[in-house]
A and B are shown apart, each in its own frame.
Chain A
């Protein structure tokens, strides 16, 4: 076990114990530590923000009920328990919908969707593409541009790309790391501007 994993297991065990004892603030701490991660995982898995939110709430309701009553047999595996509960709820929801066969018509759902949300999404998509254009424009080596295109658009494997372009694994990692850092800078700047616009 690596240090990070040991550390996580220890923190999780303590949290489980504190929640089981009914310690004040333990449940909020648990939700604060794992809440965003569980929500991201559910959103990625189901692709429906509203459903992900519902399942997220239900996951924590079930887990906290369990921790209050019985605790966990392996308290250090709290992350795994949370993940398993969330996944099981998602699978159960899919089975329930399959039985009911009441999937909404996609066009109707799109038409009924909040247009403000759609506009915000469009702004995000435009900015994402704009930042990528900047990234590509800033790259001096055509080979590095090829690397990014093949990895992010064609989704080719790292080994294949390196072989085709005659790159080392280290060079590949370095290019990706720099691209991500640059994207992070530009994106952070964009988010800051958005916050300023909203606050004004």
Chain B
């Protein structure tokens, strides 16, 4: 393969286009592998072919735009019936579509308004104006009744709430007082009153022989009940006031080494008047399992 043949038969261009027969292509490739001129021509040929294709694409796009513009210009130039009709058709299509859309929206609006009317009509009928006077319908009466009831209920609830809050505050105050009293009671204290009480022979009929003056400050008072009875496992005591009301009741009371049963009473639980304490001894269980209780004595005290 020589360069004259390559030039005359456009071998390079045809090779790049892939239009050479297989045998011719092989011969040309074997040639250009060592031919610098052909390699350069091939390189240029590639650029040129690509250039033509890109240029053609660009011109096509430009021509397309140009044709569109030319068509519009032709229409304007013509000023004739065909152009006018075409323009009218082109304009009529979107206009018709928009007109139909507007009609559809108008129809939907009317339907919506009719629905709203059907819902609001009874309500509007209830309020009909006659001059300056407003005629109140049954619906509004019911509304006002409900409003009144609601107001009454609210007032009641407010009142109840105030009462509960008052009671709560009182309870809280009492709790605080109790806490203080308890706290004070838990504190060690001196000058505890100790009153020895002997049994009264007839506590009911006679005035108590033992007297107690209530202290200014609340304090514990120990009533030491002198018991002259043995053989009991424990004792039970009941404290009554002057009205025979039970003030206190205690079980499992034990004798101390001085043969007394000691009962502590807080001064705040006492008031002026006569008190009596009845003591009973509890013996060991009998053969049948029952406990034997036997009165030991009555102790009396007058509080001044």
- A residues lining the B interface (CB < 8 Å): 2-5, 8, 11-12, 33-34, 36-38, 40-41, 44, 79-80, 82-83, 124-133, 136, 148-149, 151-153, 155, 158, 173, 176-177, 179-180, 183-184, 187
**Complex Cα spacing A11 to B44, Å:** 27
On chain A, the residues within 8 Å of B3 by CB distance are 4
B54 near A180 with CB under 8 A, answer no
Q: Scan residues 13-47 of chain B and give those whose CB is less than 8 A from a CB of chain A.
A: 13, 16-17, 19, 26, 29-36, 39, 41-45, 47
- B residues lining the A interface (CB < 8 Å): 1-3, 7-8, 10, 13, 16-17, 19, 26, 29-36, 39, 41-45, 47-56, 58
**Complex Cα spacing A37 to B42, Å:** 10
Q: Contacts A133-B55, A155-B17 given: A37-B26 contact, CB under 8 Å?
A: no
Give me the 5 closest cross-chain CB pairs, A-B, nearest first.
Answer: A128-B51, A37-B33, A152-B52, A132-B51, A129-B54
Q: Which of A37, A127, A155, A173 contacts B39 (CB 8 A)?
A: A37
Chain A: CB-nearest residue to B56: A153
Q: Contacts A38-B33, A40-B39, A129-B58 given: A187-B50 contact, CB under 8 Å?
A: no
A128 near B2 with CB under 8 A, answer no
Q: Contacts A40-B39, A155-B17 given: A129-B34 contact, CB under 8 Å?
A: no
B29 near A83 with CB under 8 A, answer yes
**Complex Cα spacing A125 to B58, Å:** 12
Q: Contacts A36-B39, A173-B8, A180-B45 given: A79-B31 contact, CB under 8 Å?
A: yes
Q: Contacts A4-B2, A153-B56, A187-B47 given: A176-B10 contact, CB under 8 Å?
A: yes
On chain B, the residues within 8 Å of A155 by CB distance are 17, 19
